[in-house]
A and B are shown apart, each in its own frame.
Chain A
Amino acid sequence: MDMLNLSNPRARQARLGRKIGKNGYAILLGLSVVCVVTGALLVFVKLHYGYVLIGVGLFASMPALWWRYELSKIPPTDTSLMGRLSKDLLTRLVPGTTYSPSILWEAIKTDPQALFITNHLLLHASNMQGCFSEDPNGLQPLLNSATQIADSYDSRTIEVGHITTALLQSSPVINAMLVQMKLSPADLSAVSNWLQRLIVAMHSKPQNFGGIGRDWASGFTPRLNQFGHNLSLSIEHYGAHFGTLVDSPGVKDIKTAFSQGAHALALIGPDGIGKTSHAYALAQNVLAEAQDPTLEHKQIVELDASAMISAAREPGQLEFILNGLLNEAVHAGNIMLFFDDAQLFFHTGLGSFDATQILLPAIQSRSVQLIFAMTPHDYETLRASNMAFAGLLTPVVLREKSEAEVLDIVADSATQLEGKQHLLITYPAIKAAYTLSGRYEADMAYPGKAIKLLEQSLSHADGGSIVIAQSVEEAIEQTHGIKAGTAAPAEADQLLHLEDSIHERMINQKRAVEVVANALRRARAGVSNPKRPIGSFLFLGPTGVGKTELAKAVAATYFGDESSMIRLDMSEYQQESDVSRILSDGQHESKSLILSVRQQPFSVVLLDEIEKAHPNILNLLLQMLDEGQLTDTGGRTVSFKDCVIIATSNAGADSIRQHIEQGEQLEQFETSFIDELINGGQFKPELINRFDEVVLFRPLNADELSQVVRLMLAEVNKTLSGQNISVELTDAAVARIVEVGNDPRLGARPMRRALQRAVENTVAGKILRHEANPGDHIMLDTADLSL
C-alpha cells in the first residue's frame, strides 16, 4: 500500500535502530573507547598502527552516537503519516507486506501499548482472531481514524495505542464483545485516554524544581521537620504524579485566593473528595510553574497533630510546640502550613486540641499562609462555635467531579496500584468501583470512595493477579454484607423458585408471595430502579393472616436469616418528637431506624401498623420510598436501596373479611378497597402511590388453618429433635386445634397458643413423667390434647 511507504528513510532507520538496540550501542561505544585508548597507547610507544585503531575507534563512535541521538528515538519529522508513525510502530512493520487491518493487528498485538488496551478491557488475543477486516482497502480509513485519535490528543506521533484504538473501534465483533462485558465504545475511548496519559507521563522530561540554592534565602525548619511532613520535598524526592489535578479548578481556586491576598484558607470538601491530594497538587504546581510572588518557591508542610499531641507531656506544652512551629514557619519565609483534618486543631477531646487562640494571631498578622482542610460539617461546626475565627478563613469549596473525570482519576490511581502490587486492574473493575461505591459508600465523596473500594478489591483478584468487576463486587459484598454481583446458578435457581421456598413456611396468600418474589427477582437481575429500595410493599389485611410471616420469610429466604429484619412497631411512633427516634445518628438516641439500617443495609424493614404513625413520620417514609435514602440528624445519609420495605396495616380488615365472606376474590375488590381507604382518610394517596405494590391479604379458611397448625407442629418437632423425640397429630386432633384456636378477628395468631396448650404442654408432661423417651414417636389424638 502506498500509504505505508516502509522503505522511506525514517522507517528504515527505525528498523536499523531496533537491530542495533541497546546492546549494539554498548558494543559500539565500548569498541570505540577501547580502540581510541589502545591506539593512543600504541602511538605513545611509537607504534604507527595505533593511528589505525584511533581512526577505527572514531568511526565506531559515529553509529553509536547516531543510535544514541537519533535511531533510539526516531522523532516525528513532519505532519505526514510516515513522518508521524511512532518508532515502535515502524519497527513492527515489514516492507513488502500488503497490510490489511487484520495483518496490521497481527503485527502490533504484542506491543505493550496494544496489550495495555486489550488487557484492561479483558480482550484476549486468542478471541480476537478474525475480528478485523482482511481487506487491504480497509487500511486507509483505519489509519485516518488513528491519525484523528492522535490529533485529538495533540500527539505529534501516531502511537501503537492510537492504531489499536482505531482497530478496536472499527470492528463490529469487538464492539459486540464489549457490549457482552457491559462496556461501550466510550469505555474503549476511556482506556485509550488512560494509555495516552501514561505515554505523556513517561515521555515528560524530569522537572527541575529550583536547583541547589533555592532554599538558601529561607530559614531552617528543624521543628517543622520533626512535627510536619514537607509535601513539596516529597514531590521533589519521589516524583510528581498528581497529573490532571495539578491544573484542576480546585488548585486554581486556592492559588487565586492566595494571589488575591488571602492568608488563611478553609479547604472545604467531604471526605474522599481529595483535600490532601489537592494540597499535594498545589505543592507540585508551585514547584513546577513560575508563580506570582505570593507563592513563588513556597513549600507546603502538613502538620502532624498526633505527633504534636504525643510529644506534649505537660500541660501547656502543646501550645508551646504549636507556637514554636508557627514562629518557625514565619521566620523561614517560604513555608505554607497545611492542617489536614483541621477539626483536630479546633476541638478539645481525645486526639485533638483547641488551637484557635494560638492560630488567631498568626492569621490576623497575615505573617504565614495557612490551609485548613475540613468537611462542610466541620466548617459549619467551627462557624457555630467560633464565628470570629471562621470568619477569618477564606473558604475554598471543592466540588465533586464529573463521572468521566472521576473514572480518569481512579484509572490513574489504578496504574500506581498495579505498579505496587504487580496486578492488572481491568477497566470493568474501575467502572464497578465507581458504580458500587456510588451506591454503597454514601459517607464518602468521589473519587476517594471509588479508590478505597478498588484498593479493597485487590485481595479479591481473580487468579491472584487480575482485578475484575467481580473482585469489586466481592469486596463490597464482604464489607457491606450485601449482594452486588450477578446471581450464581444456585442462587438464580433459588430466585426462580422463590415462591416455593416462601410457601414452605407460608400458607396461601399466593398473590402477596408472587409480587414480593417478583420484586426480589427484578432487583437481583438488575432491572429494577437502583435509586429506590429493592421493593416496597403495603400489606393490608386482618391480623394473623401472614403479613409479618411473609416479611420473615423474605428475610430468611432472600437475605439469608430471619434476623435480617428491622422491625418497627409504628404505634410507638405517634408523637411528632418520635421523628428523632427514626433519624437519630446515635448521639442522643442509642437506637434508631437509621442506625439499624446503617449496621444492616441488606435487610427487610418491617413497619408494623403503619397507619398509626405520626404524619411527619409518614412524610419521612415518602422520601425513603422515593429516593431510597434518609439523612440522619448529623447530616449523613443512609441508603435504603438494598432494603425491602414492608409496611403492614389492619386498616379495613373488616371490610376485607366481609368481601371474602360474600364470596368475592381479592382481585375483584382490590381497587375499590384501596379507594375506600384513601377516601376514608386512613391513607394519603401520595403514600399509597409510593409503594411498588399494595397487597391485600385474605382471612384464612379452616383448611388453610389446618396447614398452619401442621407448619407450627413442624417447628415444635424441630425443637424436640434435640431430644430425639417427634410428635404427630391425627387429622381429628388438628381439626380440634383449629376449632379451638380459630378466631375470625385474630386469624391464625391464637393458633399458636392453642398448639402450645394442646401439644407442647402434653409433650412436656410426657417427658417429665418419663412416658416419652429419646427415639419415641408420639401420636396425639383429640383425647390426648390438654385443651
Chain B
Amino acid sequence: MFMLDLFGWWYGSGWAGVLASTKKRLEGLAEAFSTKILLQTLFSPWRRVITYPGASIDAKLRAIGDNLVSRCVGFTVRFFVLLAAAISFVFLCVAGVVELIIWPLVPLIAIALIVKGLI
C-alpha cells in the first residue's frame, strides 16, 4: 500500500507540483529582484541624487551633466540587477524543465542503477 500510494503521488500530484513550484519560484524571483519596479525606473537617477538647475546656462548645463551621471549610475545598477534576475530566471526555467523531465524517470533510473550495479 505504501509503495502504491508513493508512486501514485509521484506520478500524480507530485509531478504536477514540480510545475507549480517552478512557477512559484519564478514569481518569487521576479518579486525579490523588484523587476517591475526596476523596469519602470530603469533610467531614473540613482536614489534621486540630482542637482537642481540654477538660473545660469552654466548651472543648467552642470545640472544636466550631474543628473546624466546619476541616471547612468542608476541605469547601470538596475541593468546589472535585471541581468542577474534574467540569468536566474533562465536558470530556474531550465532547472524546472529538467526537473519536469527527470522526475518521472527517477524510479526507473534508480532501478536501472541498482540493476547495473548488481550485474
Contacts and interface: CB of A to CB of B under 8 A. Distances in A.
A39 B31 CA distance: 39
The 4 A-B residue pairs with the shortest CB-CB distance in the complex, in nearest-first order: A51-B117, A52-B117, A211-B34, A213-B34
Interface string A43-59: 00000111111111011
B89 interface: no
A302 B88 CA distance: 38
Contacts of B74: 216-217
Contacts of A387: none
A213 B113 contact: no
A69 interface: yes
Interface string A197-220: 000000000001011111111111
Contact of A58 (B9, B14, B77, B106): B106
Main SS class of interface, B: helix
Interface in B30-59: 31-35, 37-38, 41, 44, 46-49
Contacts of B37: 210-211, 213-214, 216-217, 297
Contacts of A50: 117
Nearest to B46: A216
Interface residues of B, number: 40
B48 A217 contact: yes
A212 B78 CA distance: 10
B31 A211 contact: yes
Contacts of B34: 210-214, 216
Nearest to A77: B13
Contacts of B32: 208, 211-212
A213 B106 contact: no
Q: Which of A48, A53, A55, A59 has the most CB of B within 10 A?
A: A55
Nearest to B1: A12
A270 to B, nearest CB: 39
B114 A51 contact: yes
A213 B81 contact: yes
A55 B107 CA distance: 8
Interface stretch (A60-68, A127-135, A148-156, A647-655): A60-68
Q: Which of B32, B35, B47, B77 has the most CB of A within 10 A?
A: B47
Interface in B2-22: 2, 5-6, 8-10, 13-14, 17, 21
Given A55-B112, A65-B14, A331 B48 contact: yes
A13 interface: yes
B28 interface: yes
Interface string B79-119: 00100000000000000000000000011011111101110
Q: How large is the interface on A (under 10, 10 to 19, 20 to 34, 35 or more residues)?
A: 35 or more
A332 B78 contact: no
A622 to B, nearest CB: 64
6 contacts: A51-B117, A55-B112, A56-B110, A213-B81, A215-B47, A220-B48
A66 B117 contact: no
A96 interface: no
A66 B10 contact: yes
A464 interface: no
Contacts of B118: 52
Given A48-B117, A55-B114, A208 B31 contact: yes
Nearest to B18: A69
A518 B106 CA distance: 85
A142 to B, nearest CB: 29
B114 A332 contact: no
Interface of A: 9, 12-13, 16, 39, 48-56, 58-59, 61-63, 65-66, 69-70, 208, 210-220, 297, 331-333
A69 B17 contact: yes
A33 B35 CA distance: 35
A741 B1 CA distance: 107
Contacts, number: 112
A54 B114 CA distance: 8
A219 B10 contact: no
B44 to A, nearest CB: 5
Contacts of A63: 6
Nearest to B112: A55
A217 B41 contact: yes
A219 B114 contact: no
B33 A212 contact: yes
A51 B113 contact: yes
Contact of B6 (A66, A211, A217, A218): A66
B6 A62 contact: yes
B33 A66 contact: no
A219 B14 contact: no
Contacts of A48: 116-117
Contacts of B41: 213, 216-217
Nearest to A333: B48
Given A58-B110, A218-B47, A70 B116 contact: no
A55 B5 contact: no
Contacts of A54: 110, 113, 117
A5 to B, nearest CB: 15
Contacts of A56: 110, 114
Contact of A219 (B5, B13, B17, B47): B47
Contacts of A49: 117
Given A62-B106, A211-B31, A55 B113 contact: yes
Contact of B111 (A55, A61, A332, A333): A55
Nearest to A215: B47
Given A213-B38, A297-B37, 12 more contacts: A51-B114, A55-B110, A55-B114, A61-B106, A212-B33, A212-B81, A213-B33, A213-B78, A216-B78, A219-B48, A220-B48, A220-B49
A558 B100 CA distance: 81
Nearest to B119: A48
B70 to A, nearest CB: 11
A157 B12 CA distance: 22
Contacts of B106: 58, 61-62
B49 to A, nearest CB: 7
A52 B113 contact: yes
Interface in B63-78: 74, 77-78
Contacts of A332: 48
A184 to B, nearest CB: 44
A49 B35 CA distance: 48
Given A213-B38, A214-B37, A216-B46, A9 B5 contact: yes
Given A62-B106, A66-B10, A331-B48, A211 B113 contact: no
A70 B33 contact: no
A54 B117 CA distance: 9
Contacts of B31: 208, 210-211
Contacts of B48: 217-220, 331-333
A66 B14 contact: yes
Q: Which of A39, A51, A213 has the most CB of B within 10 A?
A: A213
A386 B46 CA distance: 40
Nearest to A209: B31
A12 B14 CA distance: 17
Contacts of B49: 219-220
A346 B30 CA distance: 45
Q: Which of A58, A69, A208, A333 has the most CB of B within 10 A?
A: A58
A103 to B, nearest CB: 26
Nearest to A53: B117
A253 to B, nearest CB: 28
Q: Which of A9, A13, A211, A214 has the most CB of B within 10 A?
A: A211
A213 to B, nearest CB: 4
B117 A62 contact: no
A217 B44 contact: yes
Contacts of B35: 211
A96 B49 CA distance: 72
Q: Which of B35, B48, B109, B112 has the most CB of A within 10 A?
A: B48
B47 A216 contact: yes
B111 to A, nearest CB: 7
A75 to B, nearest CB: 9
A58 to B, nearest CB: 4
A53 B114 CA distance: 7
